[in-house]
Amino acid sequence: MKVPRILLAAGASGSGKTLITCGILQALINRGLKPCSFKCGPDYIDPMFHSKVIGAKSRNLDTFFADGDILRYILADNSRDCDIAVIEGVMGYYDGLGGISQRASAYDVARTTDTPVVLIVNAKGMSGSAAAFVKGFRDYKEDSNIQGVILNQVSPMLYKTLKGHIEEVCGVKVIGYLPRVTDCLLESRHLGLVMPDEIQNIREKLQALAEIVEETVNLEALIELAESAGDIDAAEPRGGAFDFHTAEPVRIALARDEAFCFMYEDNLRLLQKMGAEIVEFSPVRDAELPEGVSGLILYGGYPELYADEIEKNVSMRSSIREAIEGGLPTLAECGGFMYLHESMEDNEGNAHDGVGVIEGKAFRTPKLNRFGYVTLGENDGAFFSEDVVGEVGLMPVPAHEFHYFDSTSNGDTMTARKPVGGRSWKCMHQTETMLAGFPHLYYYGNSQVAAAFLRKCENYEK
């Protein structure tokens, strides 16, 4: 499959990747093109900014979560009927597992998908050193695939000087720059950027950013570089749980609002391929669960910012508690897991009543807890004990944690293991009908999760 594509990478976090990616996406749309977008790594928030621009869901590409064949399939399948795929990198270009490994880095994604790379260089405070920076990144790996450069936070006058110098010294094309912008900055909070819908006049700011990009970045050169990418061989995953499908569609209630918004779109897509009918609801505003559902999903988000509204919605908390206690199959992650506790603190440390299914308290801590990639293995396979695909039990599941909160009751039915260093800990509440804990799961990394959940939903419906 022919997929014109480009990956925008940087030397470090905070270099302006998301800002420039959004500006380029909007500028491409303004030209009448239809872009699709992706984010390297497990991030939830940056793709929301992409989605705000393109009006369609952005996807994640993560080489820890999925092998090369699945990654290429996700890229190609979500690029159908699009003119160009724009992929935003993660952290520094070569930053992967354990600090020095390149696995799960933006470089690993570029290498796995054979995607041309444009290196974004935050050149504030630099002049000639920018050339050394570019040369070091390009030559660090023979297959770096860095074929273009965009300079960030430079003046038009300095750009003219640096462009010729970098191209002469490094032999790589400098295709544009971004001056220092003050009215389009994306603010951050404890889990990353603030949400797009919280930014006043976000549409106007994105248009203003696109106008700057149109003037300062050679979009023709960017498009030409994207079109130079080779074809992708991307077959849909088959075999095992990937072939599972419910006998009839099953309705799954999905919490989705300003408090619960961290979810992998391809997780939902895989569930739908297997027979799920997703019915969205709001734990903040709705009075009770949707009628006629046979399963419940509570993903993460910022429940701590909406703890007062969540607590006051007594009817919804009661509806969820009664449904789970009545056997409704449930998946809950991170913020959704916190919501199920008897008590949950807000961002200031004030306690609020939760659903009450998990005995214990979710509480704020001053730093990230157990953050990063993990692999989950079963200790007590209650939720996955049913034979779904010819194998009893659950194979290891790739997952990810990123939270400032902790719990007095993290669960102990699974073991989370770090991929580097050997650290491990107990986690997850796992019953016959509920799987809940801080880790975020990625279903394409282990399709048994999706298949087992939907089998539980089928049985509940019967």
The pLDDT, as a whole number, for residue 382 is 81
What are the mean pLDDT values of the chain's consecutive 10-residue runs (462 residues total)?
96 92 95 96 86 85 96 96 96 90 96 98 93 97 97 95 96 95 60 58 85 96 98 90 94 97 95 98 98 98 95 98 98 97 95 97 91 88 67 79 94 94 92 96 94 94 92
User: What whole-number distance in Å separates Cα of residue 333 and Cα of residue 438?
Assistant: 5
What's the full length of the chain, in residues? Answer: 462
pLDDT, tens digit, for every residue of 52-63? 877 888 999 999
**In which order are the strands placed within the sheet that holds 250-255?**
276-281, 250-255, 295-298, 330-333, 434-437, 429-430
pLDDT, tens digit, for every residue of 429-446? 999 999 999 999 999 999
Residue where the block lists tokens 């799954």: 252
> How many angstroms separate the Cα of 354 from the Cα of each of 83, 259, 315, 335, 400?
46, 13, 12, 11, 24
The pLDDT, as a whole number, for residue 198 is 62
Among the options 40, 334, 427, 457, which is catalytic?
Answer: 334
- Taking each helix axis from N to C terminus, what angle separates 45-54 and 17-30, rounded to the nearest 10 degrees? 20
Residue 427 annotated among the catalytic residues of the structure: no
Q: Per DSSP, what are the bridge partners of residue 427?
A: 414
The pLDDT, as a whole number, for residue 278 is 98
- Work out the number of other CB atoms within 10 angstroms of the CB of residue 456: 26
Mean of the per-residue pLDDT values of the chain: 92
The pLDDT, as a whole number, for residue 189 is 43
Got the DSSP string for 47-107? Answer: HHHHHHHHSS--EEE-TTTS-HHHHHHHHHHTTTT-SEEEEE--SSTT--TTTT--TTSHH
Helices (H) then strands (E): counts for the chain: 13, 26
The pLDDT, as a whole number, for residue 370 is 86
